[in-house]
Amino acid sequence: MKAVIFLEESMENKKGNFLSLILKGALMGVAEVIPGVSGGTIAFITGIYERLLNSIKSFDFSLVQTFREGGIKALWKAIDGDFLSVLFLGMVSGVLVGTIFISYLLEQYPEPLWAFFFGLILSSSIYIGRLIPKWDLAKVGLLVVGFLVAFGITQTIPIGGSTSAPMLIFSGAIAISALMLPGISGSFILLLLGMYTIVIPALKGCLSDPSFDQFRILLLFGVGAIIGLVVFSRVLSWTFKRYRFPTFAILTGFMLGSLFKIWPWRNPTLLMEKEHSKLINNPSFQFFKDNPDLEFKVLSELNVMPSEYLFGEPHVLPVVGSFILGLLSVLVLSRFDKS
C-alpha cells in the first residue's frame, strides 16, 4: 500500500514539475518576442537560469564519447535532456503565442503592456540584487557598468537589416546571447540590428503562408543562434562559478538600465518612412492624424509624462494597475524558484 502511495506521489510530482517547466519556458518565449524584455530575466527569477546554462554548455565533442560508451540514455542524461526538451517545448509555445497575441496587445494596448513589463523588470532587478549578501564598492561599480551598458544600448539608433547569410547568422548569435543575459532583450538587439522586421515577419509567414525565403531566413538565423548558445553559455557559466555575486551585480545593472526602453509613455523623435526611406524629425500628433496610413520605423524615442504623450489617451489607471501587476508577478514567479 505504501509503495502505491509513493508511486502516485512521484507521478504527481513529475506532472507538477513538467507543467511548471512548460510554463517557465512559455514565459521565456513570450518575453523574447517583445523588444526590451529578456527571457533571461524570466529564467533567473524562476530559478532555472544556471541549470539552463549548464545544460547548454554540455553540448561539446565529449558527447560523442558519452554516446559510444553509454548510448542514447547516457547522452540524454549528460545534456539534461528531460529539462531541456520540456523547456524548449514551452519556449516554442510562448514564441508562437507571443508572435500573435503579444503583437496584438502591442498594437491595441501598448501603454498597459509596457507598464506591466516595466514593473516586472524593476521588481526582478530588486530580486536579483537581494541575492547578493554583501554590497561593497566593487559590486556597486559593476552595477553602474551594467546600467551604463544597457542604457547605452537602448539609446542606440537601429541600423538597416539584411537578409544576407552572414548577417542572419551573426544576428542569431548575438540575439541568443542577449537572451541569456537578464535585462538585455534578444528582440531589442534584433531591432537595433534592423533584423526584427525581417525575422519576426518570416516567423509569422512560416506559420500562415510558408515560402522558401522565409524558411531560409529562419534556418540561417537558427544556425547563428546555435553558435551563440554554445559559445556564450560557456562564458556565463564560468563567470557564475568564479565570480557569482559580482555577476549578479552587473546583471542587476543590466536590468535597471533596460527600463528606459520600456517606459509606458514614449514619443518618437525620429522616424523612417518605409516606402521612400525618408527621415521624419520630431513628428507631432497632428502629423500622425494627417497620415494615418503611413508605414514607418521608429528610430529613436523620448520618454515623457502622461500629459505630454502624443498618442491620445495615456490610460493612466490601466497603466498603474498593469505596473503593480508586473511587480507582483515576480513574487509569483519566484515561488517556482526551486520547483
Tally of CA atoms within 13 A in the half-sphere of 160 that contains its CB:
6
DSSP 48: -
Residue corresponding to grid cell 498597459: 112
- Residues 165 and 218: beta-carbon distance below 8 Å: no
Provide the whole-model pTM: 0.70
pLDDT at 319: 94
CA pair distance 15, 13, nearest whole angstrom: 5
The SS3 of residue 299 is: strand
pLDDT of residue 142: 94
Q: What's residue 249's pLDDT?
A: 92
Listed ranges 173-177, 209-213, 215-219, 332-336; the one with the highest mean pLDDT: 215-219
- Give me the mean pLDDT over the 47-57 stretch: 83
Q: Quick one: average pLDDT of 191-216?
A: 78
Task: Label residue 2 by pLDDT band (50, 70, 90).
Answer: very low
CB atoms within 10 A of CB 101: 12
By C-alpha distance, which of 322, 304, 38, 295 is closest to 153? 38
- Nearest Cα neighbor of 309 from 260, 270, 263 is 263
* pLDDT at residue 171 is higher than 70: yes
Q: Would the pLDDT of 243 be above 70?
A: yes
Nearest to 248 by CA among 123, 131, 122, 121: 131
pLDDT exceeds 80 at position 337:
no
Q: Counting beta carbons within 10 angstroms of the beta carbon of residue 312, is it exposed (0 to 12), middle (13 to 18) or buried (19 or more)?
A: exposed
Helix (H, G, I), strand (E, B) or coil at 32: helix
Question: What strand order describes the sheet that includes 278-281?
Answer: 278-281, 266-273, 296-303
pLDDT tens-digit readout, 102-141: 777 877 888 998 898 888 888 878 888 888 998 999 999 9
pLDDT at residue 65, rounded to an integer: 86
Which of the residue ranges 7-11, 174-178, 181-185 would you say has the lowest mean pLDDT? 7-11
Lowest-pLDDT choice from 99-103, 158-162, 263-267, 280-284: 158-162
- Of the CA atoms within 13 Å of residue 102, those in its CB half-sphere come to 24
Cα 78 → chain centroid: 26
Per-residue model confidence (pLDDT) at position 137? 94
d(CA 278, CA 282): 13
- CB 255 within 8 Å of CB 31: no
